[in-house]
Amino acid sequence: MLCYTCGWRKTPTASETIASDVSVEASVNGDTRYIEIQLAVKCGHCGRFTAIRAIDFLYPPDKEQERIEEWDEHIRAEGVIVLHRYHQEPALFRPCPSGAPGYRIQEAWDDAERAFATRDLATPAGMAYRRVIDVAIRAMTNDQKSKKPLGVRVHDLLAAGAISKELADLIDQAKAFGDEAAHGMPLRDKDAAIARDLCEAFLRQAFTIPHLTSQIKIAIAEREAQESEPEIPF
Ligand SMILES: [Zn+2]
């Protein structure tokens, strides 16, 4: 019996496992081995299927086979499985926009998405998206411990020419929802959805676009440095 949140309706549910696979996998560079658990489950509410992939690191390397057998047995016996971190399809959360540096922004984004996905926590979700912006601005200024209010730090970045007026306005709009929520105003679902879209747009402008631009510059430099190759017609 797997307890999870259905990605179709975003509601907590439980399901018997329809199919499963438990195997040992290795990271790309071969440094880390882990047990991968893949499950196909059918939602108790809406009846639709979800594929879930989870990772289990909690075993000594010499006990891999035993651990696989334990998992197989547990799944077969319909034991209760509560997964802490997992990937599922259809996805429950939007992924953090690419290019954001460090794990803190990613973690803050995942927290906000978790609150948003419950469809029941619009006000905490609005605050959580504001926190994503706070963490991102700390990363941009390389100052994790600043006591300055977020608005002042954004203004400093703008004054120093580190961000555009357009980006500063985007931050202001996104942060306004979190400010309201933090000062006692309840948010509606649609407010949280707008805060989420604005926060995502900010992360894309602040990190994803510069990241893609630097990647393409590197790719161009590498191409320029290449010896001329036989022409490929596409
Ligand atoms: Zn469902």
Q: What is the DSSP string of 129-183?
A: HHHHHHHHHHHHHT-TT--S-HHHHHHHHHHTTSS-HHHHHHHHHHHHHHHHHHT
Please report the pLDDT score of residue 234 as a whole number: 66
The alpha carbon of 168 and the centre of ligand 1 are apart by a number of angstroms equal to 39
Please report the pLDDT score of residue 142 as a whole number: 82
Please report the pLDDT score of residue 84 as a whole number: 66
The alpha carbon of 164 and the centre of ligand 1 are apart by a number of angstroms equal to 42
Please report the pLDDT score of residue 2 as a whole number: 86
Cα 35 to Cα 18, 22, 29, 72: the distances in Å are 20, 7, 16, 12
CA distance 93 to 98: 14
| Segments in the chain forming alpha helices (H) | 64-76, 103-117, 122-141, 150-159, 165-182, 189-203, 209-225
Cross-strand partners of 33: 26
Please report the pLDDT score of residue 68 as a whole number: 92
CB atoms within 10 A of CB 20: 17
The alpha carbon of 191 and the centre of ligand 1 are apart by a number of angstroms equal to 24
Please report the pLDDT score of residue 109 as a whole number: 95
The alpha carbon of 7 and the centre of ligand 1 are apart by a number of angstroms equal to 7
The alpha carbon of 119 and the centre of ligand 1 are apart by a number of angstroms equal to 14
The alpha carbon of 11 and the centre of ligand 1 are apart by a number of angstroms equal to 7
The alpha carbon of 95 and the centre of ligand 1 are apart by a number of angstroms equal to 20
The alpha carbon of 136 and the centre of ligand 1 are apart by a number of angstroms equal to 33
The alpha carbon of 13 and the centre of ligand 1 are apart by a number of angstroms equal to 7
Domains, the chain, ranges and CATH?
A: 2-89 (no CATH), 103-222 (1.20.120)
Please report the pLDDT score of residue 90 as a whole number: 87
The alpha carbon of 120 and the centre of ligand 1 are apart by a number of angstroms equal to 16
What is the pTM for the complete model shown? 0.66
The alpha carbon of 42 and the centre of ligand 1 are apart by a number of angstroms equal to 8
- Which residues crowd ion ligand 1, with CB under 5 Å? 6, 8-9, 43, 45-46
Residue 58, exposed/middle/buried by CB under 10 A (0-12, 13-18, 19+)?
Answer: exposed
The alpha carbon of 6 and the centre of ligand 1 are apart by a number of angstroms equal to 5
Mean pLDDT by 10 residues, the chain (234 residues): 82 88 85 88 92 83 88 90 78 87 90 85 94 93 84 90 88 90 91 94 91 90 79 68
The alpha carbon of 89 and the centre of ligand 1 are apart by a number of angstroms equal to 12
